[in-house]
Amino acid sequence: MNHKKDRPFLKPPIKRVSRLYLFTRTLVKQGAGRFHRYMGIKDIGSLPKGKDPIIFVSNHQNGMMDPLLITSILKPQLHWLTRADVFWNPVFRMVLFALHQMPIYRQRDRLTDLRERNNAIWECCIDRLEIGAVISIFPEGNHNPQKTIRGLKSGLSDLLGRSLTKHESLKRIKVIPLGLDYEDYPGFRRRFRLRMGKPVEWVDLYDAETEKVNFNQLTDRIQSAIREIAVDIRPYEKYDDLLPYVNALRTTEASAKAWTEITRSLEKISMLKDMGKISKAANQLREAGFESPKMRVEAWGVSQLDVRKKKLWAVALRPLSWIANAPTFMQQWYLNYRGDKVKAIEFRSTLKIGAGMVVYPLSWTLTAIFLGGIASSNGLSFFGWSPFFEVFFAYWAFATFGNSFYGWLQGHLHDHKDALDGERFWNDQKSAALREAWMNYIAVVKKHL
């Protein structure tokens, strides 16, 4: 069984929902919600009601964090395609199957029957869609921490073509785009926005003779749909020159009207034939001392009017948040320390949140048991219940609320720090050269719009 050619042929069950998924989603929601600062989901009304099959397609920037956030926010139980090597362990396989994970085989698996195995997985996807399952995929095929929409793989068009060929009723599949927008990938309590677009038409692209969906045309439609709800900085070659301007727009906070203006601006920039002046202004900005991501242009904005308001009340509450977070301080410090050592920036938050979903509640439980035992041995009781349960639940409630309160306040403290940094940037004489370069850079970009 150790040799790759002897790996078992995995057959996921055909199902739509599971109880374990509900429980696990609660943990994921708690973990992701404690780390990121949700800014809500836009256009949730476009989600079809009932049991129509859905395929969510989204941009993929932040490693395992992307599926965790999508799973925690969207109510439907989502089915995912996951690399096959994590299924080899029988125990893990059982759990993954219960969580709607399906193995997908890659060339690096070096299996002689790789195509046959993947064909079986596609059939599983189709059968699940037929009973109303909701599948979520990343059509780009892999992740990239940069805010761009990359070329798509053929998986989505293949799945749609196979589905309609096998079941004519599956023309009812809704392909719905999702846009993931991070203020700062690994930053604790930084903003995150999820946007949902309108269903993408695809049935007219199906060719009954070839039994395929036109890949190129579908790709154009999917990319266009995602660009309406996610940041797409183009041209890619000028990414570093354009990123400061885009970050200064604070896209995760944009209203519907402001977001429409942002997408139009990005589209205009992508069509520029000559970006020499923008690149020159960006170089002058760097020569003036600008360092990314060390300097947060989100604090500056595109003008002095964008400086945030101070939140002195948050500063006043900071000592209270330290006390409230005492049951979680050491665990949080250790996970942050370990997470920040991960070289790939798109995996740092995954380690912190993934471990936190288990470490936090487990440490609270063990400590609560210990304190409850002490209370029982001393015969302490406040409400007439068993001293053990009184202390156990009191500690658990304090730890849970305290950690949530600490995280909530940290988001507002970030805003306060941004207010101070923004005020300093726009008024301090020491920032004069950098400020002049920034104003010139913004003016040059806007002139091209």
DSSP string, 170-185: GGG-EEEEEEEEES-S
Q: pLDDT at position 5, please?
A: 56
- The strand pair at 174-182 and 54-58 is best described as parallel
- Each residue's pLDDT tens digit, 139-169: 998 888 889 999 999 999 999 999 999 999 9
> Reduced to 3 states, what is the DSSP secondary structure of residue 20?
helix
Asked whether residue 300 carries a pLDDT value surpassing 90, the answer given is yes
Q: pLDDT at position 6, please?
A: 65
Residue type, 150: R
Q: pLDDT at position 379, please?
A: 66
Q: pLDDT at position 382, please?
A: 62
What would you report as the CA-atom Rg of the chain, rounded to the nearest whole angstrom?
Answer: 25
- Residues 144, 20, single domain; the answer is yes
- Each residue's pLDDT tens digit, 70-95: 998 998 999 998 888 888 888 888 88
- Percent of the chain predicted with pLDDT > 70: 96
Of 211, 232, 253, the residue that ends a domain is 232
- Residues 36, 145, single domain; the answer is yes
- The strand pair at 191-196 and 37-42 is best described as parallel
- Residues 60, 134, single domain; the answer is yes
Query: d(Cα 44, Cα 61) in Å, to the nearest integer?
Result: 22
Instruction: Write 240-244 long-range contacts (CB < 8 A, 24+).
Output: 240/282, 240/292, 241/275, 241/278, 241/279, 241/282, 241/283, 242/269, 242/278, 242/282, 242/445, 243/147, 243/292, 244/282, 244/285, 244/290, 244/292, 244/297, 244/441
Q: pLDDT at position 284, please?
A: 96
- Strands of the sheet with 37-42, listed across from one edge: 37-42, 191-196, 174-182, 54-58, 134-137, 78-83, 101-104
- Residues 266, 148, single domain; the answer is no
- Residues 364, 397, single domain; the answer is yes
CATH code for position 191: 3.40.1130
Query: d(Cα 300, Cα 423) in Å, to the nearest integer?
Result: 8
The H-or-E segment that residue 330 falls in is: helix 329-339
The residue among 339, 333, 330, 405 whose CA lies nearest residue 367 is 330
- Residues 209, 270, single domain; the answer is no
Q: pLDDT at position 182, please?
A: 93
Of residues 386 and 34, the one with the higher pLDDT is 34
Asked whether residue 427 carries a pLDDT value surpassing 70, the answer given is yes
- Mean pLDDT for 409-422 is 97
Q: pLDDT at position 4, please?
A: 54
The residue among 340, 397, 391 whose CA lies nearest residue 368 is 391
Query: d(Cα 322, Cα 120) in Å, to the nearest integer?
Result: 53
Confidence at 175, pLDDT banded by 50, 70, 90 = very high
Of 209, 232, 255, the residue that ends a domain is 232
Output the CA torsion sign for 147, 150, 153, 156: positive
- Each residue's pLDDT tens digit, 319-336: 999 999 999 999 989 888
- Mean pLDDT for 202-207 is 96
Confidence at 383, pLDDT banded by 50, 70, 90 = low
Of residues 358 and 316, the one with the higher pLDDT is 316
Q: pLDDT at position 324, please?
A: 96
Asked whether residue 45 carries a pLDDT value surpassing 60, the answer given is no
- Each residue's pLDDT tens digit, 233-252: 999 999 999 999 999 999 99
- Residues 205, 247, single domain; the answer is no
Phi and psi dihedrals of 173, rounded to 5? Answer: -60, 130
- Residues 397, 343, single domain; the answer is yes
Structural domain for 430, as ranges: 235-449
Q: pLDDT at position 43, please?
A: 63
Confidence at 293, pLDDT banded by 50, 70, 90 = confident
CB count in 10 Å sphere of residue 119: 13
Tell me the Ramachandran region of residue 323: left when phi exceeds 0, alpha when psi lies from -120 to 50, beta otherwise. Answer: alpha
Can you state the percent helix, strand and coil of the chain, rounding each to 5? 60, 10, 30
- Mean pLDDT for 29-57 is 81
Q: pLDDT at position 2, please?
A: 45
Spell out the residues 6+ positions from residue 46 whose beta carbon is closer than 8 angstroms to its own.
176, 196, 197, 198, 199
- Residues 283, 267, single domain; the answer is yes
Q: pLDDT at position 384, please?
A: 61
Asked whether residue 386 carries a pLDDT value surpassing 80, the answer given is no
Asked whether residue 283 carries a pLDDT value surpassing 70, the answer given is yes
- Mean pLDDT for 111-130 is 90
Beta-strand ranges (E) seen in 197-235 are 206-207, 212-213
Of 187, 214, 232, the residue that ends a domain is 232
pTM exceeds cut of 0.75: yes
The DSSP secondary structure of 85-136, one letter per residue, reads GGG-SHHHHHHHHHTTEEEE--GGG--TTHHHHHHHHHHHHHHHHHTT-EEE
Length of the chain in residues, anyone? 449
Asked whether residue 407 carries a pLDDT value surpassing 90, the answer given is yes
- Residues 119, 211, single domain; the answer is yes
Asked whether residue 110 carries a pLDDT value surpassing 80, the answer given is no
- The strand pair at 191-196 and 174-182 is best described as antiparallel
Q: pLDDT at position 373, please?
A: 87
- Residues 218, 252, single domain; the answer is no
Give the chain's mean pLDDT: 90
The DSSP secondary structure of 239-260, one letter per residue, reads HHHHHHHHHHT-GGG--HHHHH
Q: pLDDT at position 1, please?
A: 42
- Mean pLDDT for 119-133 is 94
Q: Give 329's strand partners.
A: none
- Residues 240, 228, single domain; the answer is no
Count: domains in the chain: 2
Q: pLDDT at position 403, please?
A: 94
